[in-house]
Amino acid sequence: MRIDLHTHSNCSDGTDSPTMLVHKAIAAGLDVIALTDHDTFAGIAEAQEAGKRSGLRVLNGLEISTKFEGRSVHLLGYGCDPRNADLKAELARIRAGRTERLPRMVDNLRAAGIDITIDEVYAQAGDASAVGRPHVADVLVRKGVVASRDEAFATWIGEGQPGYAERYACPVEEGIDLIHGARGVALIAHPWGRDTRAVLTADVFERLIREHQLDGIEVEHQDHDADARELLFEMGGRLGLIRTGSSDYHGKGKVAHELGCNLTRVQAYNELVARIRRRGGIV
């Protein structure tokens, strides 16, 4: 069984519709995917309906924007009840934080000499429920300012760059509790990617398990080199964490993140589903 538990659609910052994502996953030889759009469940129903028609299992998921010690940490939730009032309210607050910073980012870019408007960003985002920096990056790509989203983040809109602006994200501890309150299972996405390895230490994982019952970590990910994968796998096993692997697919929005480039072991997937069932979540 081929399982990819971290994918995105154009309901957040992916470039494929949920239905197209399902079709591409089948073409890639996958049997199970999770749709984990940023801070929204908007694409789940469409993806699951397409999966039923096509024979692909689509697990209900999302990726929540959180922070720990000032660093951005992404939290994956699986099997959550989308109707849970507390989780819905926090996701709305996070999405509002994304939207509210866009005019400040545009102003910063214009001050740095980039010809860009907020209307162009919203036009680029289309019907996405979660609008954010990737859509700004796409405008910069379309205008020829940069060649890719990665270059846009590295030179213009990443932290410390001319177009960057802060936004709200909830504490990771609160995010874990909200996922559990919605009867879901909580994993930290790509924990040692970018600049989070320095703060997400073994001691921190132990505390998050002890005080908030963190369920797992994403180990096999393109942001992790071989050394990070080996150490995370060993540490996760010692701490009793579910250890997953995934592509973090965004369609054309990310290079070298093709569907199925990293996979979740069947044993880990079965444990994930078992925990969702024990919590009374949706599988």
Residue 255's pLDDT band, with cuts at 50, 70 and 90, is confident
> Are 217 and 205 contacting, i.e. CB atoms less than 8 angstroms apart?
yes
Domain ranges of the chain: 3-91+169-279, 101-157
pLDDT score of 96:
95
Residue 157's pLDDT band, with cuts at 50, 70 and 90, is very high
Q: Do 3-91+169-279 and 101-157 show the same overall fold?
A: no
Residue 127's pLDDT band, with cuts at 50, 70 and 90, is confident
Q: Give 5-23 pLDDT, tens digit per residue.
A: 999 999 999 999 999 999 9
CATH of the structural domain 3-91+169-279, one choice from 3.40.50.300, 3.30.1490.190, 3.30.390.30, 3.20.20.140: 3.20.20.140
Specify the CATH number of the domain 101-157. Answer: 1.10.150.650
